[in-house]
Amino acid sequence: MELVSLFIKSAFIENMIFTFFLGMCSYLAVSKSVKTAVGLGAAVIFVLLVTVPVNFLLETYVLKEGALTWLGSEYADVDLSFLSFIMFIAVIASIVQLVEMLVEKFSPALYGALGIFLPLIAVNCAILGASLFMQQKQFSNVGEATVYGVGSGFGWFLAIVLIAAIREKISYSHIPAPLKGVGMAFILTGLMGLAFLGFLGFEL
């Protein structure tokens, strides 16, 4: 039950896009049609599903203060947490590469759908952001970290599919020329963000 509420919390209340603005670059760039938005969203969920738990294990068994105790008691007060940025980004970049190769080998159809988006994802702030939030929240086990990763990914997926659908519709309406495109996308995101603020009061 706790995991379900964690999922809902990470997907809706702490939505990556509407609350933290993470992954806005690709969110604005790839939201012109619903089909590509679904592809990118699915790729983000997939990568978060893998990277957040891996980074959680790395954090617990290597980086955190006292995490290296399993090597012997003389390592008990080693604190490597200043290395976490570089370790996390290295893990993300290599996992994205690995996932790309695996998907290409075992499921060419999926690769066709996700292919071009996968390399982009290594530098999507939502991925690194989820790992850094995971570090801040200090989850107690891998399960929670995994659910948090999938939840955040799902929230991001929802956001990009919603905005893509709205942008498809709105491209035929009369908007002041300077606001066309990006300007309008910002206002739409703001309005959707207001709607998502409604989730803020929920106690789970």
Partner 1 sequence: MSEAKKESLFSKKNRKLITEPLNTINPVTIQVLGICSALAVTVQMDNALIMSIAVTAVTVLGNVVISLMRNIIPSRIRIIVELVVVAFLVICVDQILKAYVYDVSKSLSVFVGLIITNCIIMGRLEAFALGNKPWESALDGLGNGLGYGLVLIVVAFFKELFGSGSLSIPGLGKLELLPDAFFELGYMNNGLMLLPPSSLFIVAIYIWVQKSRNPQLIGE
Which of 105, 177, 201, 203 forms a contact with partner 1 (CB under 8 A)?
A: 177
Q: Tell me the three state secondary structure of residue 33.
A: coil
Phi (first) and psi of residue 160, to 5 degrees? -70, -35
Nearer to partner 1, 75 or 186 (CB): 186
| Structure tokens that stand for 90 in this block | 């290295």
Structure-token match 């790395």, residue found: 58
Q: If you ran DSSP here, which 8-state letter would residue 134 be given?
A: H
Q: Please give the single-letter amino acid code of residue 199.
A: F
Which region, judged by CB under 8 A, interacts with partner 1, from 6-14, 69-77, 117-125, 151-159? 117-125
Q: Does 10 bind partner 1 (CB under 8 A)?
A: no
What is the smallest separation between the CB atom of 1 and partner 1, expressed in angstroms? Answer: 28
Length of the chain: 204
Report the distance separating Cα 56 and Cα 25, nearest Å: 25
Nearer to partner 1, 97 or 109 (CB): 97
Q: Which residues bind partner 1 (CB under 8 A)?
A: 18-25, 28-29, 82-86, 88-90, 93, 122-125, 127-129, 132-133, 136, 176-184, 186-187, 189-191, 193-194, 197
